Amino acid sequence: MKIENLRDLFVTELCYAYDCEQKLVKKGLPTMIESATSPELRRALDQHLQETRNHVSRLERVFSIVGADAKTKDNDILDELTSAAKDMIGDIDASYLRDAALIVGGNKVEHYEMAVYGSLVSFAQQLGYTEAATLLQQTLNEEKAADAKLTQIGETAVNPQASTERRAA
Protein backbone atom coordinates (compact mmCIF):
# COMPACT_ATOMS: atom_id res chain seq x y z
CA MET A 1 0.00 0.00 0.00
CA LYS A 2 1.38 3.34 -1.00
CA ILE A 3 1.23 5.85 1.83
CA GLU A 4 -0.18 9.09 0.50
CA ASN A 5 -1.43 10.93 3.57
CA LEU A 6 -1.36 11.00 7.38
CA ARG A 7 -4.32 8.63 7.67
CA ASP A 8 -2.52 6.06 5.50
CA LEU A 9 0.57 6.38 7.70
CA PHE A 10 -1.60 6.09 10.81
CA VAL A 11 -3.28 2.89 9.59
CA THR A 12 0.04 1.40 8.47
CA GLU A 13 1.57 2.02 11.90
CA LEU A 14 -1.56 0.57 13.54
CA CYS A 15 -0.97 -2.61 11.52
CA TYR A 16 2.66 -2.74 12.72
CA ALA A 17 1.57 -2.23 16.33
CA TYR A 18 -1.10 -4.93 15.95
CA ASP A 19 1.49 -7.39 14.63
CA CYS A 20 3.86 -6.51 17.45
CA GLU A 21 1.28 -7.00 20.20
CA GLN A 22 0.03 -10.28 18.74
CA LYS A 23 3.56 -11.68 18.49
CA LEU A 24 4.28 -10.65 22.08
CA VAL A 25 1.11 -12.39 23.31
CA LYS A 26 1.66 -15.57 21.33
CA LYS A 27 5.37 -16.14 21.83
CA GLY A 28 7.50 -13.23 23.06
CA LEU A 29 6.22 -12.69 26.58
CA PRO A 30 5.46 -16.37 27.35
CA THR A 31 9.04 -17.25 26.34
CA MET A 32 10.42 -14.50 28.56
CA ILE A 33 8.29 -15.63 31.52
CA GLU A 34 9.45 -19.21 31.06
CA SER A 35 13.11 -18.11 30.85
CA ALA A 36 13.08 -15.82 33.91
CA THR A 37 14.66 -16.92 37.20
CA SER A 38 13.51 -14.03 39.41
CA PRO A 39 9.97 -14.46 40.78
CA GLU A 40 9.57 -10.68 40.73
CA LEU A 41 10.53 -10.53 37.05
CA ARG A 42 8.19 -13.41 36.23
CA ARG A 43 5.29 -11.60 37.96
CA ALA A 44 6.02 -8.35 36.14
CA LEU A 45 6.21 -10.10 32.76
CA ASP A 46 3.02 -12.04 33.47
CA GLN A 47 1.22 -8.82 34.41
CA HIS A 48 2.43 -7.23 31.18
CA LEU A 49 1.24 -10.25 29.21
CA GLN A 50 -2.25 -9.62 30.57
CA GLU A 51 -1.97 -5.93 29.63
CA THR A 52 -0.69 -6.86 26.18
CA ARG A 53 -3.78 -8.99 25.57
CA ASN A 54 -5.76 -5.82 26.32
CA HIS A 55 -3.54 -3.88 23.90
CA VAL A 56 -4.60 -6.26 21.12
CA SER A 57 -8.28 -5.69 21.96
CA ARG A 58 -7.76 -1.94 22.19
CA LEU A 59 -6.09 -1.87 18.78
CA GLU A 60 -9.04 -3.78 17.34
CA ARG A 61 -11.33 -1.10 18.76
CA VAL A 62 -9.14 1.61 17.23
CA PHE A 63 -9.29 -0.06 13.82
CA SER A 64 -13.08 -0.13 14.12
CA ILE A 65 -13.28 3.52 15.20
CA VAL A 66 -11.24 4.70 12.22
CA GLY A 67 -12.99 2.40 9.74
CA ALA A 68 -9.96 0.27 8.85
CA ASP A 69 -9.54 -3.49 8.69
CA ALA A 70 -7.80 -4.98 11.72
CA LYS A 71 -4.86 -6.66 10.05
CA THR A 72 -1.20 -7.12 10.73
CA LYS A 73 1.72 -5.84 8.74
CA ASP A 74 4.84 -7.92 9.38
CA ASN A 75 6.90 -6.05 11.93
CA ASP A 76 10.55 -6.58 10.99
CA ILE A 77 11.79 -4.33 13.80
CA LEU A 78 10.13 -6.44 16.48
CA ASP A 79 11.34 -9.61 14.75
CA GLU A 80 14.94 -8.35 14.92
CA LEU A 81 14.61 -7.35 18.58
CA THR A 82 13.14 -10.70 19.59
CA SER A 83 15.67 -12.65 17.54
CA ALA A 84 18.56 -10.83 19.23
CA ALA A 85 17.01 -11.42 22.67
CA LYS A 86 16.47 -15.11 21.90
CA ASP A 87 20.11 -15.47 20.87
CA MET A 88 21.27 -13.74 24.04
CA ILE A 89 19.04 -15.87 26.27
CA GLY A 90 20.31 -19.01 24.56
CA ASP A 91 23.90 -18.05 25.38
CA ILE A 92 23.26 -17.67 29.13
CA ASP A 93 22.34 -20.43 31.58
CA ALA A 94 19.37 -19.90 33.89
CA SER A 95 20.54 -17.23 36.33
CA TYR A 96 20.12 -13.63 37.36
CA LEU A 97 22.52 -12.78 34.54
CA ARG A 98 19.98 -14.20 32.07
CA ASP A 99 17.29 -12.19 33.84
CA ALA A 100 19.40 -9.06 33.28
CA ALA A 101 19.54 -9.96 29.57
CA LEU A 102 15.76 -10.48 29.55
CA ILE A 103 15.30 -7.02 31.04
CA VAL A 104 17.53 -5.46 28.38
CA GLY A 105 15.50 -7.16 25.67
CA GLY A 106 12.23 -6.16 27.32
CA ASN A 107 13.34 -2.54 27.66
CA LYS A 108 14.27 -2.45 23.96
CA VAL A 109 10.80 -3.68 22.96
CA GLU A 110 9.10 -1.25 25.34
CA HIS A 111 11.06 1.68 23.91
CA TYR A 112 10.09 0.67 20.38
CA GLU A 113 6.44 0.39 21.44
CA MET A 114 6.58 3.76 23.21
CA ALA A 115 7.85 5.36 20.00
CA VAL A 116 5.09 3.78 17.92
CA TYR A 117 2.28 4.52 20.36
CA GLY A 118 3.49 8.07 20.93
CA SER A 119 3.29 8.70 17.19
CA LEU A 120 -0.08 6.94 16.92
CA VAL A 121 -1.54 9.15 19.66
CA SER A 122 -0.26 12.25 17.90
CA PHE A 123 -1.59 11.12 14.52
CA ALA A 124 -4.99 10.20 15.99
CA GLN A 125 -5.27 13.63 17.62
CA GLN A 126 -4.28 15.39 14.40
CA LEU A 127 -6.81 13.36 12.41
CA GLY A 128 -9.60 14.07 14.89
CA TYR A 129 -9.90 10.51 16.17
CA THR A 130 -10.39 11.57 19.80
CA GLU A 131 -11.62 8.22 21.11
CA ALA A 132 -8.82 6.37 19.30
CA ALA A 133 -6.26 8.79 20.75
CA THR A 134 -7.56 8.11 24.27
CA LEU A 135 -7.31 4.34 23.79
CA LEU A 136 -3.83 4.60 22.31
CA GLN A 137 -2.73 6.88 25.16
CA GLN A 138 -3.86 4.23 27.67
CA THR A 139 -1.62 1.71 25.95
CA LEU A 140 1.27 4.17 25.77
CA ASN A 141 0.95 4.78 29.53
CA GLU A 142 1.03 1.03 30.19
CA GLU A 143 4.10 0.57 27.99
CA LYS A 144 5.89 3.35 29.88
CA ALA A 145 4.94 1.74 33.21
CA ALA A 146 6.16 -1.68 32.02
CA ASP A 147 9.48 -0.16 30.96
CA ALA A 148 9.86 1.58 34.32
CA LYS A 149 8.98 -1.63 36.19
CA LEU A 150 11.57 -3.64 34.25
CA THR A 151 14.20 -0.99 34.97
CA GLN A 152 13.29 -0.94 38.66
CA ILE A 153 13.52 -4.74 38.93
CA GLY A 154 16.87 -4.66 37.17
CA GLU A 155 18.33 -1.93 39.34
CA THR A 156 17.06 -3.16 42.70
CA ALA A 157 17.06 -6.95 42.42
CA VAL A 158 18.38 -8.59 39.28
CA ASN A 159 21.51 -6.58 38.51
CA PRO A 160 22.89 -6.78 42.07
CA GLN A 161 22.26 -10.55 42.07
CA ALA A 162 23.85 -10.91 38.62
CA SER A 163 26.87 -8.99 39.89
CA THR A 164 27.19 -11.33 42.87
CA GLU A 165 26.90 -14.40 40.64
CA ARG A 166 29.74 -13.17 38.48
CA ARG A 167 32.02 -12.56 41.45
CA ALA A 168 31.23 -16.01 42.82
CA ALA A 169 32.11 -17.68 39.51
For the chain, 169 residues long, the average pLDDT of each consecutive 10-residue run is: 94 97 95 94 97 98 97 90 86 92 95 98 98 98 98 97 74
| Phi/psi of residue 95, nearest 5 degrees | -175, 175
Determine the pLDDT at residue 120: 98
Determine the pLDDT at residue 90: 86
CATH architecture observed for domain 6-168: Up-down Bundle (1.20)
119-158 burial, b at 16+ Cβ within 10 Å, e below that, comes to bbbebbeebebeebbebbbbbbebbbebbebbeebbeebb
Determine the pLDDT at residue 33: 95
Determine the pLDDT at residue 3: 96
Query: Which residues are CB-neighbours of 139 under 8 A, at least 6 positions away?
Result: 55, 58, 59, 117
Q: Is the pTM of this model over 0.75?
A: yes
Domain boundaries, the chain: 6-168
